[in-house]
């Protein structure tokens, strides 16, 4: 029996959970571990202001490390990365601070800085998507995600590099996100792979633009150095929907590894029991970070 498109992608609303932000509970104990600095950043590209949340690795401010420069991971949906009190459901967050701190302590990854960029709430899809989501919002307004690379290069990176000791080079610069943010991270990675050499794309919604990310990667002169992608087996209510998403992501994986001059080293993880939420992304984060930023031998 064939499935019509609306039935195949019945989980569209679940895939944009992070676009909604509700009021935090009156009593909530912050879950931040280590040092996370926050400040407001005005974007000339999008003409708005958002909060930036910067995780600094253990020892960053020690005198012994005063001259040390650190690789950096820029991540979308910054509200959901470090503190459950401000996360989407006020319960689950990526646990980036806990995970990175632990992996550094265990000697499994090199110390790095993580920059969380808050989304634009009701304009999240407008900023994150380079192509219209014709299944979730047919006939909706055009999106501005094609300007994300410009936003990062002109608005974000100069400020971060002026405030913190950032190691330069594509091998030290990564971008990551989930759901629409995962599509955004992939788009940035293939648009400016000589700037962002590493990509973390959790549960990317590859139907956006009627599968445009698959077509965009079908021929690449250069791709990022490393790409981590993952998807869960219970993200959709229908097995056929999950199968379609995984098949498309697998095609993106193949495309990235066949770039003409600079192919990607790609790791794809399929978790059969995982849903489309922060808990799943937090669970897979240790594997993703260890793949992207392994400790130097």
Cα 245 to Cα 48, 56, 81, 132, 203: the distances in Å are 33, 35, 24, 17, 9
The secondary structure element, H or E, covering residue 198 is strand 198-202
Number of other residues whose CB lies within 10 A of the CB of residue 43: 18
Q: Which two tokens stand for residue 122?
A: 């009701």
pLDDT of residue 26: 65
Q: What is the pLDDT along the chain (297 residues), one digit of tens a residue?
A: 333 444 444 444 444 444 444 455 668 888 888 999 999 999 999 999 999 999 999 999 999 999 999 999 999 999 999 988 988 776 788 999 999 999 999 999 999 999 999 999 999 999 999 999 887 778 777 899 999 999 999 999 999 999 999 999 999 999 999 999 999 999 999 999 999 999 999 999 998 999 999 999 999 999 999 999 999 999 988 888 889 999 999 999 999 999 999 999 999 999 999 999 999 999 999 999 999 999 987
β-sheet bridge partners, residue 268: 229
- Cα torsion angle, 282, 284, 290, 292, sign: negative
261 burial (CB, 10 Å; 0-12 / 13-18 / 19+) is exposed
pLDDT of residue 135: 79
Question: How many Å apart are CA 2 and CA 73, to the nearest integer?
Answer: 42
DSSP one-letter string for 92-141: ----HHHHHHHHHHTTSB---EEEEE---GGGHHHHH-SS--TTTSTTPP
Cα 179 to Cα 191, 230, 244, 277: the distances in Å are 18, 11, 15, 9
Q: Which two tokens stand for residue 162?
A: 């002026």
pLDDT of residue 136: 78
The secondary structure element, H or E, covering residue 7 is helix 5-8
pLDDT of residue 239: 87
Q: Which two tokens stand for residue 36?
A: 């996370």
pLDDT of residue 11: 43
pTM given for the model: 0.92
pLDDT of residue 61: 96
The alpha carbon torsion through 122, 127, 129, 132 (nearest 10 deg) reads 60
Of how many residues is the chain composed?
297
Which residue, among 185, 176, 155, 188, has the nearest Cα to 71 in the 3D structure?
176
């Amino acid at each position: 029996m064939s499935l019509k498109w609306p039935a195949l992608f019945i989980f569209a609303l679940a895939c944009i959970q992070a676009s909604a932000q509700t009021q935090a509970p009156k009593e909530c104990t912050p879950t931040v571990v280590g040092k996370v600095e926050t400040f407001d950043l005005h974007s000339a590209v999008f003409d708005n202001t958002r909060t930036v949340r910067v995780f600094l690795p253990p020892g960053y401010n020690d005198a012994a490390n005063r001259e040390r420069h650190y690789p950096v991971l820029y991540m979308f949906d910054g509200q959901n990365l470090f503190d459950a009190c401000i996360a989407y459901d006020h319960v689950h967050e990526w646990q980036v601070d806990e995970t990175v701190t632990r992996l550094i302590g265990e000697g499994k990854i090199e110390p790095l800085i993580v920059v969380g960029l808050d989304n634009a709430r009701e304009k999240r899809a407008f900023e994150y998507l380079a192509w219209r989501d014709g299944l979730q919002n047919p006939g909706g307004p055009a999106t501005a995600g094609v300007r994300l690379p410009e936003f990062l290069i002109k608005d974000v990176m100069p400020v971060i590099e002026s405030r913190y000791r950032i190691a330069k080079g594509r091998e030290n610069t990564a971008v990551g996100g989930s759901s629409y943010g995962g599509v955004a991270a992939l788009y940035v990675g293939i648009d400016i792979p000589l700037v962002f050499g590493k990509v973390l794309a959790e549960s990317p919604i590859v139907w956006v633009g009627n599968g445009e990310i698959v077509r965009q990667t079908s021929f690449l002169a250069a791709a990022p150095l490393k790409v981590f992608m993952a998807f869960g087996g219970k993200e959709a209510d229908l097995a056929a929907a999950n199968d379609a998403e995984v098949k498309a992501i697998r095609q993106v994986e193949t495309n990235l590894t066949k770039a003409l001059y600079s192919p990607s080293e790609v790791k794809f993880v399929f978790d059969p029991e995982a849903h489309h939420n922060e808990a799943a992304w937090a669970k897979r984060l240790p594997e993703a970070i260890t793949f992207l930023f392994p400790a130097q031998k």
